[in-house]
Amino acid sequence: MKRAAARPLLWLAALLAVYLCAPFVASVPQLGAADWANVDWRATWSAVGVSAASATVASFMILLGGVPLGYFLARSNTRKMALLGFVVQLPLALPPLTSGVLLLFLLGPYSGIGRLTGGGLTDSFAGIVLAEIFVAAPFLIIAAKSAFAAVDPVLDDVAATLGHHASSRFFRVMLPVAWPAIRAGLALAWLRAFGEFGATVMVAYHPYSLPVYTYVVFGGQGLPAMMPLLLPTLAIAILCAALSIYSLRQKPAPEQTENGDDTLEPGTDLTASRGDADNRRLTFHLQRQLGDFGLDIAWTPASRRLAIIGPSGSGKSLALRLIAGLESNASSTVRLGATALHTLPPERRQIGYMPQDYGLFPHMSVVRQLSFPVDADAASARYWLDHLGLVPLVGRLPHQLSFGQRQRVALARALTRHSELLLFDEPFAALDTPRRRRLQQSLRALQREIAAVTIIVTHDPDEAALLADEVLVVEQGRVLQAGAIADVFERPASMRVAALLGLHNVGEGSMSAAGQVQIAPGLMVTTANRASLPAAGQRVMWRVSSHALAVTPQGAHAGVVESVELRRGERYVRVNIAGVRFDLASEDAGLREGAPCRLDIRAAGVNIWAAACGARQASSA
């Protein structure tokens, strides 16, 4: 089926390929019939020189203006820029003679510019260049716009956090990454300028360019005189094709697909960054309105290892960008110790920002990545190269590194400038589970040794619990709960927080007698922890440890097994008691779906606390 479906495509491709190749084949017999004796080689080479020189000058002028224009067209979404982008591409749609007429309106001897220059812009080398610029510029502008649009904007963000201003980011990051596509557009623009006839013949008939000279000779001598004039053009075309084929055959270094060395060696001493930052603490109040979405979160944590957790679209990544200064907002405040970061541009905030793929610059080797920060410390760079095991990798490009190696390069790059704040935006989201666990442990080991404040943005509660001492739970741009990891996981403020943290055996109820909570009609649970219990009749939240649940024939509560499932290789049973669902680990093969059972709930494993104001009623999570 697939071969039959592909055959018509093959025939269509072959038909066009044959047609495009046929004129070159047809020209071969004309070599013998050409009028070689009457060729004016001096005039021919003069025309070739005029075309080559004018095309080169025109391409240089196009490059100077076309690359910035393509950059701004790619970065702007305004209607004015869209209209400008449409207008500058119009020469592609115009017949060349029409382009020449338009240029005469602007540059001709009777136009304002023409009278000002005494007609010097027509019938001159300058006129040829101006005509070629008009018709060839769209090729480079379109290529530059597409190239810059394809560059990941995260690279510009990362470069900003490494201390580089806009112009430096353009010339050292954006332009080098986009250059291969721009170079192709420049080659097309040069070829278009070299072969330009219609606009040139209208604006500058003299001196003869090769296309105009070819037209003049054809009118006087006919077809036999054409082959000698076509040879320079064919030679240039063959040279360009050969260079193109050669560049395509250059094999890039193989991409690293294996896990590689993803972990730090135990016992590594990473204390170089400790110092005054030990006493620094981060505080912020972030506000941002984006259409219908509004972010308004404040946090004053007491520790250095922090996590922000929430569902997709909750604003956690936006919060990280506001902290980094990558989203401008005068109403937000960010302080690190006594430093008011919100008053500083991102290049002066002395932070390390690491997006999901770590934002390594694809055209830079490892050693260049570490020397890229504006205030990079060479001694610190050598230290981190050694202690993060990167010395054997200094000559590699990012695509030659494993994900774990990229992580370490990004960390070393941030630490070479002694960053006091490290921001991680879901750093392990795209990884398989084994590699994610290894890299999480690696990052945790590094956190213990450096003094920088770290913020991990994640939707994985296990990751937050591993890599943070305090957590901020957000949803729809608002704080649901903040506090120490143990406190938040043990006593979620609401059922929604419990759901976001993936907690089980949690619910709401009403405080009854001392130490007892009614969690469902006819179902009471007792806690052994009687200290600071809410008053009778108060709405409370409860949580039962899975270890406090025991299936026994004489259990106090009758239930039904609803489901049996594996979680990380461990067998869990979900039991429904009076409409409340409890999850417990059990290897009892007799507990199957639909089977009745009896359950004891040990008071020592029951935790009770006052429900947050406005918490929604729910039976369990």
- Looking at domain 27-154+163-249, which of 1.20.1560.10, 1.10.3720.10, 3.40.50.720, 2.40.10.220 is its CATH number? 1.10.3720.10
HEC assignment per residue over 533-600: CCCCCCEEEEEECHHHEEECCCCCEEEEEEEEEEECCEEEEEEEECCEEEEEECCCCCCCCCCEEEEE
Helices 403-415, 378-387: inter-axial angle, 10-degree rounding: 150
Q: What is the mean pLDDT of the chain?
A: 86
Say whether 276-489 and 27-154+163-249 share the same fold.
Answer: no
* Res. 173: pLDDT tops 80: yes
What pLDDT score was predicted for residue 163?
A: 92
> With contact defined as beta carbons under 8 Å apart, do 135 and 193 qualify?
yes
pTM of the model: 0.81
pLDDT at 244 over 70: no
Q: Is 80 exceeded by the pLDDT of residue 263?
A: no
Per-residue pLDDT tens for 527-549?
887 777 888 888 889 999 888 88
Q: Spelled out in words, what is the top-level CATH class assigned to the domain 276-489?
A: alpha beta
DSSP 411-447: HHHHHTTT-SEEEEESTTTTS-HHHHHHHHHHHHHHH
Check if the beta carbon of residue 317 is closer than 8 Å to that of residue 457: yes
Whole-number pLDDT of residue 618: 35
> Does residue 168 register a pLDDT over 80?
yes
pLDDT band of residue 167 (cuts 50, 70, 90) is: very high
* Annotated domain spans of the chain: 27-154+163-249, 276-489, 504-610
pLDDT at 268 over 50: no
> What is the reported pLDDT for 275?
46
Find the range with the poorest average confidence among 271-275, 287-291, 392-396: 271-275
Ordered DSSP codes for 233-252? HHHHHHHHHHHHHHHHHSPP
Does residue 14 surpass a pLDDT of 80?
yes
Q: In this structure, are residues 454 and 424 in contact, taking their beta carbons and an 8 Å threshold?
A: yes
pLDDT value of position 256: 56
Place of tokens 């420049």: 186
Rounded Cα gap, residues 591 and 614, in angstroms = 38
**Residue 561 phi, psi dihedral angles, 5° rounding:** -70, 120
Rounded Cα gap, residues 587 and 471, in angstroms: 33
pLDDT at position 262: 54
pLDDT tier for residue 172 given thresholds of 50, 70 and 90: very high
For residue 466, the surrounding DSSP H or E stretch is helix 461-467
Which of the listed ranges 270-279, 299-308, 549-558, 594-603 does the model predict with the highest average pLDDT? 299-308
Tens-place pLDDT, residues 510-528: 888 767 888 888 888 888 8
Per-residue pLDDT tens digits for 313-366: 999 999 999 999 998 777 899 999 989 999 999 999 989 898 888 899 999 999
